[in-house]
Amino acid sequence: MEIRNEIAELLTEVKIKNPLVHHLTNYITANDCANIVLALGGSPVMADEEREVEEMVSIASALVINIGSLTTLTVKAMLKAGKKANEKGIPVILDPVGIGATSLRTNTVKEIVNEVKVSVIRGNMAEIKILAGLKANIKGVDSREEINSEGERIAVELARLYNCVIAVTGAKDIITDGKKVCIIENGHKMLSQVTGTGCMSTSLVGTYAGVTNDYYLSSIAGIVSMGLAGEKAYKSLKNGEGTGTFRVKIIDNISLLTEKDFREGSKVHEQ
C-alpha cells in the first residue's frame, strides 16, 4: 500500500482509539501541544512531577519528552517516565529542543538517549547534527542548517546508532528508521514564524505512535499532518491576517483533517 494511504488510515485509527499521550514538556507551548493532540483525536495529559510520572505514563499510549524548558527537577522526572515507558512497552518520542545551545541541554539529551530506549527523535537539522556529535549552526532553539543529502546521511546513521526513527523537520523533512528514508515536502515557511510548530509536530508524531507499532509510519503521519495544516492555514489567510491567525488555523486544520487530505495532498516519496 502506498504511504499516503497508510497514513490516511492511521488518522482514522487515532479518531477511533483516542490514544492518551503523556507529555513532559515545556511551559511555553504546552497549551498548543495539548490542543493539537485533541484536534487530531487523541487525549493529552501533561504531568511532570517526579512523584506521579510513572503512574501517569503507565496508563498512556505514548510518552512525549520535550526539553524546551527543562529544569533539574523535570529532567529527573523525564528519566523516570522514560524508563517506566520502556518497561511497559510504551513508545517514547523525544524532542531535543535547543540541544547545543547549552551544555545542560546537550548532556540531558545524551543522558536520556543512553538511559531510555526512544522510538522517535524529532528535531530540526541543527539539533540532529549536534546529537550526532557534529557542529551545527544554531540560533537559540532555531536551526540555521539546510536540509540536504548530507543531512539525510547523518539522520540515517543516527537512526541506526539509536535504533530509532529520526524525524528531521525544516524546509523539507527527512524521516528515516535507518533503512528506509522518506522525504516530505509538505508545509509552508510561515510555520517557522510561529513558536511551537516543532513541539506540536512532535506531539502529533506521539499521538500517531499511540495507535501503531510502526513508528516510521507514525512519524511520517505526524509530520505530513503538520505540513498539510500549515499549507491550508496559509492558503486561508485573508488580507490583514498574519502569524496570529495562522497559528489558530493550524489547529483548525488539524481538527478538520480527513483521510482524503492525506490521499490527495501528501507530498511524500521514499528514497
- Contact residues toward its own copies (CB under 8 A) are 18, 20, 22, 26-32, 34-35, 38-39, 43-49, 51-52, 55-56, 59-60, 68-73, 98, 101-105, 139-142, 193-196, 232, 236, 240-245, 247-256
Residue with cell 486561508: 236
Query: Distances in Å between the alpha carbon of 31 and those of 45, 151, 158?
Result: 11, 31, 31
In sequence order, what are the residues at sequence separation of 6 or more whose Cβ sits closer than 8 angstroms to the Cβ of residue 235?
A: none
Q: What are phi and psi of 236, to 5 degrees?
A: -85, -10
Give the whole-angstrom CA distance, residue 186 versus residue 223: 8
Q: Write down the least CB distance from residue 149 to its own copies, Å.
A: 27
Contact 195, 28 (CB under 8 A): yes
Task: Decide whether 89 or 240 has the Cβ nearer to its own copies.
Answer: 240
Q: Write down the least CB distance from residue 93 to its own copies, Å.
A: 16
Contact 99, 127 (CB under 8 A): yes
Residue 264, burial from CB neighbour count under 10 angstroms (0-12, 13-18, 19+)? exposed
Task: Decide whether 51 or 179 has the Cβ nearer to its own copies.
Answer: 51
DSSP letter (8 states) at residue 192: G
Task: Decide whether 131 or 174 has the Cβ nearer to its own copies.
Answer: 131
Q: Write down the least CB distance from residue 258 to its own copies, Å.
A: 12
Task: Decide whether 236 or 271 has the Cβ nearer to its own copies.
Answer: 236
Question: How far from the centroid of its chain's Cα atoms is residue 34's Cα?
Answer: 13
Q: Write down the least CB distance from residue 138 to its own copies, Å.
A: 9
Q: Write down the least CB distance from residue 8 to its own copies, Å.
A: 18
Task: Decide whether 135 or 269 has the Cβ nearer to its own copies.
Answer: 135
Q: Write down the least CB distance from residue 128 to its own copies, Å.
A: 19
In sequence order, what are the residues at sequence separation of 6 or more whose Cβ sits closer than 8 angstroms to the Cβ of residue 101?
A: 138, 140, 141
Q: Write down the least CB distance from residue 216 to its own copies, Å.
A: 26
Task: Decide whether 38 or 134 has the Cβ nearer to its own copies.
Answer: 38
Task: Decide whether 143 or 266 has the Cβ nearer to its own copies.
Answer: 143
**CA dihedral for 164, 169, 175, 178, sign (positive or negative):** negative
Contact 221, 122 (CB under 8 A): no
Residue with cell 511532570: 48
